[in-house]
Amino acid sequence: MTDEVLQLASEVGDTWTIVRVAIDEGDDMDAGVVSLSRKAPRRRAVVSTRWPTLLVALVAGALVLSGCGDDKGDDASKPSAKDTLPRTYETPEGKVAFSEGGDTVTIETPEGKSLLINGRLPDDFPDGFPILKGAKIQTSSVQPKSDSIVQTTRYFVELGGAEAYEQYLDLLVAAGYRLGEKTRVDDGPAGFDGSITFKGEGDRSKQSGLVSVSLNKAQVQVSVTLTILK
């Protein structure tokens, strides 16, 4: 598992929750994860399409079975044996282990331990890094690399795309970051897409990254990717 981990969650009715997770391999989104849970509480499994087809079928099949039983007489708060999935898999890249606790899914691979976090910032998110007022955080991820840690956070904000973008131009500088390449495509109410690269200075010299602002389903979404050198 390399490069940035992305996560997009959506609610489907009152019965199912679908969570999609993908690994960004540059221009090719050749890896993806899907999990299903039936009612509360959530039981999440993760499958990478980059891994063998047999593994994908195994977990996908188990997910389907977990929702096919008769609700009568079942205690929804207690997963049955058929809801229990293997948590360690052998892949071409080595052994991959999954564990879940609270709002965090831990993915442990030969490259290190990655975290997928629902609804909040990572515990070690840099103090003082600007997050816009009123942010509704969707997901965060923490991925270790040999010489750095990459944190990616996505959130919605009740601002226009241009307004969110302009605020980041000012807030990043005020927080001690030097701005790099900037792109911006503004189609007004029809759409907005902008990005800002940045590099920390002084006490923040080990930090760099990218802020992206886009219009997503009539909502403005902000994505912050921070690379922190070890």
* Averaged pLDDT score across all residues of the chain: 71
Q: Is the pTM of this model over 0.95?
A: no
Most confident of 43-52, 95-104, 165-174: 165-174
Phi first, then psi: give them for residue 51, nearest 5 degrees: -90, 175
- Higher-confidence residue of 49 and 155: namely 155
DSSP β-bridge partners for residue 104: 101, 117
* Peptide bond before residue 79 is cis, with ω within 30 degrees of 0: no
Q: Under CATH, which architecture does the 143-230 domain have?
A: 3-Layer(aba) Sandwich (3.40)
pLDDT recorded at residue 163:
96
Q: pLDDT tens, 136-150?
A: 999 999 998 889 999
pLDDT band at 85 (very low <50, low <70, confident <90, very high): very low
Query: What DSSP assignment string belongs to 4-32?
Result: -EEEEEEEETTTEEEEEEEEEETTEEEEE
Domain assignments of the chain as residue spans, ordered by start: 1-118, 143-230
Is residue 32 a contact partner of residue 20, using CB atoms and an 8 Å limit? yes
